[in-house]
Amino acid sequence: MTLPPVAPAVVADVLDALPPRLRKRIDTALDKAAAWEVTASGESARAELDADTTLTWTLVAGALTTADDLVCSCLLAPRCLHRGVAVAAAPIAADAPADDPADPPPDQVHDGPPGSTPGGTATAGGTATAGSTAPGAMTGLAGTGVAGGVAEALPELPVAVTAGERGAATALWEACTTVLRAGAQGSGAVVRAELLRAVHTARVVGLHRASAAGLRIASALAGARAGDSTFDREVLTAELVDLLLLCHDLRTAPEATSELRGTARREYRPIGSLRLYGLCTEAVVTTSGYGGVVTHLVDDAGGLWTVPAIMPGGPERVSAAAGGPVAVGESGLSHRELGRVGLLLAGGTASPDRRLGAGKAVRAVRASGVRWDADPPARLWAEPVVDQVTRAFQAGTRPDTHRPAGADLLFVEGTVLGAAGSALRLATAAGTLDLIGDGDRTRENLRVLATAGGVDLRFVARLRPDRPGTAVALAVSGDLALPADLQGHVDLGLDRLQRSHVRGDARDLPPRPEPTDRVPPPLRPLENVLHRVTLGGRAVAAVASASRDIATLSRNGLTTTADLLADLALSARDRERDAFGRVVRDAGDAFPTAWLRAGLHVREFTRTVARRSWLDAVSPV
């Protein structure tokens, strides 16, 4: 077996016990762990390194949770290199599982922009029991839907940031700034251990979003040092920007909500009674090993809600989940049925992202459904496409645990123009839109629909921020000859369209050009410096001259970008020296703050350009 996973704090505890001469040797000795043969027996593991040296792990739930539970038989133990290698080369133990075993990490529910991790403390305003009824729950939450739009996330009152939370955020900030100064290639086991210690501290005080981000950074650093082909400097840069900004907000803000703190377990709050109408059921298969379905519902006010059924597995889980029972109440409905009928909900609960809960006090009864051209679903298509695109891009800036249900969805109607490569091209009132599939069944159905040239259809689709004018189709309704059991719409990832269901002409159109640049060309000089610092640390930015790029940016009118690049270059070179001319270790915030400001500028500039490109792509010529 591989090395047993270790808790984040254990890595730092073991390495702290080593004398300085052994700590310096940790990085060069990590390769030795690959030759160790580890055997497990119940809650313990053992590795015989040689005739005189044996490592023994005492595990809790399959992981090493304290430094004392790792014992080495060599003469230098416990301050030996063997223990240091055993924890530094081991994977990091994951967080405790969520309260709902069918609830995967939110960033694994669908493909989209990188999200944050599962998180959650109790809500800022306190935790309500599943059976209680909050004042105004039935009227206040039922009224959060926006006519012709998508509802906001459930409201929440902020609470004061405690001294412990502020201290944990400061520790994480300092650990990340150490990574920036050293770079991914220079952040060895000791730097990674300090980051993991800060991750543990953040987890203890309830900053679960920050601790999860720190774990991802620590994993990326390990991959960079090991030469892992999956390491991506752009991803690591984005993670560092997000975590540094989060730590800055927690250090400076007097109050914070659970959106900043994160949640360890998905929390469900009372929402009272709702009348819900099935919209569609989406097939979900992730690259991280989860599969199932998510059913989308709409309430009387036009607000969206979701009911997931996602479990570890692959594509084989989709069909089973679609035909499986809905966990909300005891309606006796399957997910496939719920997407086409209605639901009367009493004593309901929901998480901040409007995911319905399955508490014991929840009661649900089957009700009649409505077609998409009737209220309340019809209000979703009444919202202008431009407003929908803006809303979807705004949703991408929020963590998945607090992103309102359906905020990244588009509700579009138009006339089929034909096939544009692998996409279905649709002519809408705002312009042309290309619809693609993310699964074999969806792509097959889109090929059938591409033969329906001139037919008017309505789609539910998910916006692709990185591909202007392109969205992933989830469901369709319109001028189709569908069987009665489909009740007016087709779930493209679950149902199968036949040629007899469509009419019209087949047309072939030129495909939309693929975007070539993720970052706008004017930002490349600043982005390149950010990435060089991420990889090589502060010294790399201090060596290279940025004067030519700064002058070019200024001439082109990008004075803010030029100023940020100049500040970053200056702070990288501004090093204090002692009386002997040696560089003094920098512990200030000038350099990491300059790097963070530059990173935020690139991120927001890129998002704005992507949104503008999206709007231009769907606008009439």
DSSP letters, 161-184, are PPHHHHHHHHHHHHHHHHHHHH-G
Task: Please tell me the distance from the alpha carbon of residue 154 to that of residue 251, in angstroms, as a whole number.
Answer: 25
Looking at the structure, do residues 241 and 276 belong to the same domain, yes or no?
no
Residue 603 belongs to a domain? yes
Residue 606 belongs to a domain? yes
Looking at the structure, do residues 403 and 464 belong to the same domain, yes or no?
yes
Identify the pLDDT of residue 266: 81
Residue 94 belongs to a domain? no
Residue 607 belongs to a domain? yes
Nearest-Å Rg of the Cα atoms of the chain is 27
Dump the DSSP string for 307-361: EEEEEE--THHHHHHHHSBPSSTT---BHHHHTTSEEEEEEEEE-TT-BBP--TT
Instruction: Examine the pLDDT at 588 and tell me if it is beyond 90.
Output: no
Q: Are 20 and 77 in contact (CB under 8 A)?
A: no
Looking at the structure, do residues 279 and 244 belong to the same domain, yes or no?
no
Task: For residue 136, name the pLDDT band (cuts at 50, 70, 90).
Answer: very low
Kindly state the tokens that stand for 332.
Answer: 């006796």
Identify the pLDDT of residue 263: 84
Q: Are strands 290-299 and 44-50 parallel, antiparallel or unpaired?
A: unpaired
Last residue of a domain, one of 57, 74, 89: 89
Identify the pLDDT of residue 409: 95
Looking at the structure, do residues 566 and 597 belong to the same domain, yes or no?
yes
Backbone phi, psi, residue 200, to 5°: -65, -45
Looking at the structure, do residues 452 and 472 belong to the same domain, yes or no?
yes
Q: Which amino acid does the sequence have at 242?
A: D
Domain membership of residue 15 as a residue range = 8-89
Identify the pLDDT of residue 79: 92
Looking at the structure, do residues 561 and 597 belong to the same domain, yes or no?
yes
Strand order of the sheet with strand 53-58?
Answer: 38-41, 44-50, 53-58, 70-72
Looking at the structure, do residues 476 and 396 belong to the same domain, yes or no?
yes
Task: Please tell me the distance from the alpha carbon of residue 210 to that of residue 207, in angstroms, as a whole number.
Answer: 6
Last residue of a domain, one of 89, 124, 149: 89
Closest CA to 331 of 350, 349, 346: 346
Q: What is the pTM of this model?
A: 0.82
Task: Please tell me the distance from the alpha carbon of residue 282 to that of residue 468, in angstroms, as a whole number.
Answer: 22
Task: For residue 576, name the pLDDT band (cuts at 50, 70, 90).
Answer: low
Q: Are 355 and 349 in contact (CB under 8 A)?
A: no
Task: For residue 152, name the pLDDT band (cuts at 50, 70, 90).
Answer: low
Q: Between 501 and 108, where is the model more confident?
A: 501
Identify the pLDDT of residue 240: 97
Identify the pLDDT of residue 147: 36
Task: Please tell me the distance from the alpha carbon of residue 348 to that of residue 356, in angstroms, as a whole number.
Answer: 7
Kindly state the tokens that stand for 289.
Answer: 């090993």
Residues 6+ apart with CB under 8 A from 599: 237, 240, 241, 244, 530
Residue 410 belongs to a domain? yes
Give the chain's length. Answer: 621
Task: Please tell me the distance from the alpha carbon of residue 543 to that of residue 268, in angstroms, as a whole number.
Answer: 52
Q: How many CA atoms lie within 13 A of 194 on its CB side?
A: 15
Residue 115 belongs to a domain? no
CB neighbour class for 353 (10 Å; exposed up to 12, middle 13-18, buried from 19): buried
Task: Please tell me the distance from the alpha carbon of residue 455 to that of residue 173, in angstroms, as a whole number.
Answer: 56
68-125: pLDDT as tens digits: 999 999 999 999 999 999 999 999 987 543 334 344 443 333 333 333 333 333 333 3
Identify the pLDDT of residue 118: 30
Does residue 488 come out as left (phi exceeding 0), alpha (psi in the -120 to 50 range) or beta? left
Identify the pLDDT of residue 574: 66
Total H helices, total E strands in the chain: 20, 18
Residue 440 belongs to a domain? yes
Looking at the structure, do residues 498 and 530 belong to the same domain, yes or no?
no
Residue 458 belongs to a domain? yes
406-444: pLDDT as tens digits: 999 999 999 999 999 999 999 998 889 999 998 899 999
Looking at the structure, do residues 242 and 357 belong to the same domain, yes or no?
no
Report H helices in 440-546.
440-449, 524-536, 538-543
Which range has the worst mean pLDDT, 57-71, 354-368, 382-396, 568-582?
A: 568-582
Name the one residue in this structure whose structure tokens are 């009737």.
Answer: 374
- Name the strand (E) or helix (H) holding 58: strand 53-58
Identify the pLDDT of residue 582: 67
Task: Please tell me the distance from the alpha carbon of residue 172 to that of residue 214, in angstroms, as a whole number.
Answer: 8
Domain count, the chain: 5
Looking at the structure, do residues 413 and 503 belong to the same domain, yes or no?
yes
DSSP-derived letter for residue 429 is: S
DSSP three-state, residue 472: strand
Looking at the structure, do residues 205 and 293 belong to the same domain, yes or no?
no
Burial annotation 463-486 (CB, 10 A radius, 16+ → b, else e):
bbbebbbbbbbbbbbbebebeeee
CATH number of the domain to which 472 belongs: 2.40.50.140
Task: For residue 135, name the pLDDT band (cuts at 50, 70, 90).
Answer: very low
Which range has the worst mean pLDDT, 380-389, 396-405, 434-443, 523-532?
A: 396-405
Last residue of a domain, one of 70, 89, 108: 89
Looking at the structure, do residues 298 and 255 belong to the same domain, yes or no?
no
DSSP-derived letter for residue 187 is: -
Task: Please tell me the distance from the alpha carbon of residue 259 to that of residue 208, in angstroms, as a whole number.
Answer: 10
Average pLDDT over residues 334-343: 95
Computed over every residue of the chain, the mean pLDDT equals 86
